[in-house]
Amino acid sequence: MISGIVMIFVALWFYQSAIKAKVNNVLVWVVIGAIGFFVLQLMLVNLNIYILESFRSSEGGAAYEALQGADRKNEGDFLGFAGILKSLYLEISPSVVGFLIIALARLKFITKESFTVQNLFSGLKEMFLNIKQSFKTPE
């Protein structure tokens, strides 16, 4: 769910950046940004699953899973403070890393500005201000 919201923000951010940079085919860049983020998200989630399963395989493998069930196999791993941190990492890291990679692509191909942290995230504040303004009703 978090990644879906981030993907909507990426599409809006690409749209505003492409309009501001006066790039041809604005909607094509919006689609490229959204699909690019989705593909990155899919790859990074699968990477997290692969890492998680590699840790779990040392606990007994497929035979244990068939006997006890996948839910019971890692019952204690996500409990306590360390478990909360693991859960947060597995949920948030694909969205954050995907967003950073998409931000680099936006900087290189749409805005064509020099690489600085300021330029990397430029336009986000304006995007959120425009979203905020869209909820105000004229009196």
Name which residue leads in pLDDT, 127 or 139: 127
pLDDT at 55 over 60: yes
Q: Are 95 and 43 in contact (CB under 8 A)?
A: no
Instruction: Check residue 57 and give its pLDDT.
Output: 63
Report the mean per-residue pLDDT for the chain. Answer: 84
Q: Which residue has the tokens 């689609």?
A: 31
Instruction: Check residue 126 and give its pLDDT.
Output: 92
Name which residue leads in pLDDT, 7 or 69: 7
pLDDT at 88 over 70: yes
pLDDT at 54 over 70: yes
Q: How far apart are CA 135 and CA 129, in angstroms?
A: 10
Instruction: Check residue 43 and give its pLDDT.
Output: 95
pLDDT at 63 over 60: no
Q: What is the DSSP letter of 69?
A: -
Confidence of residue 62 (pLDDT cuts 50, 70, 90): low
**Domain map of the chain by residue range?**
2-133
Name which residue leads in pLDDT, 63 or 33: 33
In our burial notation (b when 16+ CB lie closer than 10 A, e otherwise), range 79-101 reads: eeeeeeebeeeeeeebbeebbee
Q: How far apart are CA 67 and CA 79, in angstroms?
A: 22
Name which residue leads in pLDDT, 42 or 71: 42
**Residue 76's CB: how many other CB atoms inside 10 A?**
8
Q: Are 9 and 98 in contact (CB under 8 A)?
A: no
- Indicate the angle between helix axes 2-20 and 124-134, nearest 10 degrees: 100
Instruction: Check residue 84 and give its pLDDT.
Output: 82
